[in-house]
A and B are shown apart, each in its own frame.
Chain A
Amino acid sequence: MSDYRALGGVPFMPKPARPAPANTTGVVGWMRQNLFSSPSNALLTLVGAYIAYVTIMAILNWAVFNAVFEAESRRECLDLVGRAGACWPGVVAWSRQIMYGLYPADQIWRINMGFLTLILWVVPLWLPRVQSKVAIGLTAVLVYPFLASYWFLGGQAGFVWSVLIAASIACFVWVWATALLESFTGATFGRFVLTLLGVQHRSEQDQRRVLRAVAAAMLLVAYVAVSFWTLPFVPTTRWGGFFLTLVISGIGIAFSLPSGILLALGRRCDMPVIRIACVLFIELFRSVPLITILFMFNTMLPLFLPVGVEVNQLLRAIVAVCLFAAAYMAEVIRGGLQAIPRGQYEAASAMGLGFWQTTVLIIMPQALKIMIPTIVGNFIGLFKDTTLVSIIGLFDVLNMARAVGEDTRWLGLFIEPFFAVTVLYFICCFAMSQYSINLERKLDTGPGGRR
């Protein structure tokens, strides 16, 4: 690459790089440059700081400094500080219901176990050396719910449900075995099992057969374990609080992404029947407010079902939320698809990739990546929208918070529980939003991106 030297001429000597001037680096430099760069900017900074100070102090005064933390009733709080400070004992007394609804107190550990299972299920996704992240993520969405359903619902599991629960447990074992093996040895679970059984040199067909047998054996063991496992039944009418909110929005979020992808693909499909069906579904659900859909499913669905067929009220709400979320997600995904240049499809076709290969390997990863902010925005929206189920009589976290003020002991105590719920929502939504920003940065493969 240095053949220009052979051409002769005056040699070009690049200047050495110098460090940046001191006052543009460091905290002081940053503040000088961004907050106090001119008199008007400095004024704005000071006014802004003052407003922030006043607001934060007002909130702290109410919520902490003047607040009552120990009292038997609202009356007592009012006698102590009047309305100048918050009355937290009411919220504390109701905190179990706000978090778990009317779930039997001695069974609440099951809810915690259910969510702990989920956390453990997804932890391997953050372990750096784990390779099978896609498979683990997929099982978390597709298989975990069966195990969770038994944690939360309990009772007598029929054959099919038992098998599903067993599959879920077997999968969980697989997830952790994979995570550990890949972290410490770098071998996949399959390879490890084959080596353990000493069949790693057999033909590929034999190996596949062995792996299938191992999977079946794991399933069988799990099934036997499940048949010895009984938890008391807790009807969904007793589910409530933040737990219910998480269940509804969790299912809605998990359902909306895959079904939104399928609907978006369907809308671009060449087959008119599929396309029209998808367009109708999307437009119908997008043109109606969620609350209307909830009412429809709650009150009208039973009218269409045969007499005697009872669909659980929670299930009706979940279905309504899922369909609504799917329609919205479909449009988000379609937006992402539209942003993919035609050249990507052409390059994939020219290489001989088929439609599904192109979609899964080339188009969707890019479309989803572009749309991360919007997708997560939708998730956050959905998470907040689930508060609407309180209107059809489900006791989600918001409804539970309202119930505090209707308790005779804490009559009229509304602001505090709502404040607590606000903080709860803020933490969740802010975490989601931060995670999405993080993800975007991690997935950035642009010119200034990673590496």
Chain B
Amino acid sequence: MSEITELEEAAREAVASTRSTTRIIEISKLNKWFGQFHVLKDIDLTVYQGERIVVCGPSGSGKSTLIRCINHLEEHQEGDVIVDGTPLNNNVKNIDAIRSEVGMVFQQFNLFPHLTVLENCTLAPIYVKKMPKAEAEALAMSLLERVRIPEQAKKYPLQLSGGQQQRVAIARALCMKPKIMLFDEPTSALDPEMIKEVLDAMVELAKEGMTMLVVTHEMGFARRVADRVIFMDQGEIVEQAPPEVFFGAPKFDRTKLFLSQILAH
């Protein structure tokens, strides 16, 4: 166990040292309402290329909404979101450009049940990127191998376990060769036995230098992988810090309370 941690630590430092200063996501003064309900309040957030960010916070604090604003699954009313130089506005072209660079993994997997695992993975490359089928399949197989389920390629999603499904979802998102990966509670719908296999896949991805925004309650993962932990409450970013600081010496009492609750069980 300790030797794995050490390896990860080394990898993390290697990536951290090479981390560019390119700002890949820039969010400023982001405000969003659901009807009269103010979900996101003046969010400012800059993400650098290769950075791994874990977002945590109590239920309903707006974590999902925040990361869904990045690929325009939710529309914001005020403020700017710039992803890899492309501003997110109502220009459909910009939205499409951003979506093809941002992969997303959902809590409920959201695989397409009528398509095989392989077809799930090749769909977007073929129809969005216009990649030839053979090339898309080769790419998909290589990514399925990376998440360690190449043998399931011909099965249908509902014939797999939850952990396998979530790994397919990760491979599917990676098939678009995204620059950024968004994860919305990827392990919350899984049985404890399967959480590890999904987290392993994510750790590996992190080692390869992928920019990641991960909403999760897996504090172990945050500690091991994150460059920065963000704590949200009631639509605001309360606190953000590197994991050592965040878990060791949180500044705000709200953060302390949250940590005490989440680490208690």
Contact = CB atoms under 8 A, between A and B. Distances in A.
Q: Do A and B bind each other?
A: yes
Interface of A: 341, 343-344, 346-347, 349-354, 357, 361-362, 365-366, 369, 443, 445-447, 449-451
B114 A369 contact: yes
B159 A353 contact: no
Given A361-B123, A366-B113, A369-B114, A350 B156 contact: no
Contacts of B110: 341, 343-344, 346-347
B114 A343 contact: no
A351 B176 contact: yes
B145 interface: no
Given A346-B73, A347-B110, A369-B114, A451 B156 contact: yes
Contacts of B71: 349-350
Given A352-B100, A369-B114, A343 B127 contact: no
B104 A350 contact: yes
10 contacts: A344-B112, A349-B73, A350-B73, A350-B102, A350-B104, A352-B96, A352-B124, A445-B157, A445-B159, A451-B156
A240 B119 CA distance: 47
Q: Which of A346, A354, A365, A451 has the most CB of B within 10 A?
A: A346
Contacts of B154: 451
Given A349-B71, A350-B103, 11 more contacts: A350-B73, A350-B173, A353-B124, A357-B127, A361-B123, A366-B114, A369-B114, A445-B158, A447-B158, A449-B158, A449-B159
B156 A445 contact: yes
B61 to A, nearest CB: 20
B155 interface: yes
B264 to A, nearest CB: 26
Contacts of A351: 99, 123-124, 128, 172-173, 176
Given A361-B123, A447-B158, A451-B159, A350 B99 contact: yes
B89 interface: no
A174 to B, nearest CB: 21
A362 B112 contact: yes
For chain B, the bracket of interface size reads 20 to 34
Given A352-B176, A361-B123, A362-B112, A446 B128 contact: no
B169 to A, nearest CB: 8
Contacts of A362: 112
B139 to A, nearest CB: 14
B128 A353 contact: yes
B99 A352 contact: yes
B108 interface: yes
Closest 5 A/B residue pairs (Cβ): A347-B110, A445-B156, A343-B110, A351-B124, A352-B99
A344 B114 CA distance: 11
Contacts of A354: 96
Nearest to B127: A357
A443 B116 CA distance: 12
A341 B110 CA distance: 9
A341 to B, nearest CB: 8
Nearest to A444: B156
Contact of A365 (B114, B157, B158): B114
B158 A352 contact: no
Contacts of B172: 351
A361 B157 CA distance: 16
A268 to B, nearest CB: 18
A449 B127 contact: no
Contact of A353 (B106, B127, B173): B127
Contact of A447 (B96, B103, B128, B159): B159
A386 to B, nearest CB: 32
Contacts of A350: 71, 73, 99, 102-104, 173
Given A350-B102, A361-B127, A451 B114 contact: no
B124 A445 contact: no
Contact of A352 (B108, B113, B128): B128
Contacts of A361: 123, 127
A346 B114 contact: no
Contacts of A447: 158-159
B125 to A, nearest CB: 9
B99 A349 contact: yes
Nearest to A357: B127
A362 B114 CA distance: 8
Contacts of B173: 350-351
Contacts of B100: 352
Nearest to A358: B127
A343 B105 CA distance: 11
B39 to A, nearest CB: 17
Interface string B87-110: 000000000100110111010101
Contacts of A449: 156, 158-159
Given A352-B99, A445-B158, A449-B158, A347 B127 contact: no
Interface in B104-157: 104, 106, 108, 110-114, 123-124, 127-128, 154-157
Nearest to B160: A447
Interface string B63-74: 000000001010
Contacts of A357: 127-128
Given A352-B176, A353-B124, A343 B158 contact: no
Contact of B155 (A346, A369, A451): A451
B119 to A, nearest CB: 10
A345 to B, nearest CB: 9
Contacts of B108: 341, 343
A29 B103 CA distance: 55
A446 B124 contact: no
A320 B159 CA distance: 45
B185 to A, nearest CB: 13
Contacts of A450: 156
Nearest to A350: B104
Nearest to B119: A361
A346 B176 contact: no
A361 B73 CA distance: 19
A350 B70 CA distance: 10
A42 to B, nearest CB: 40
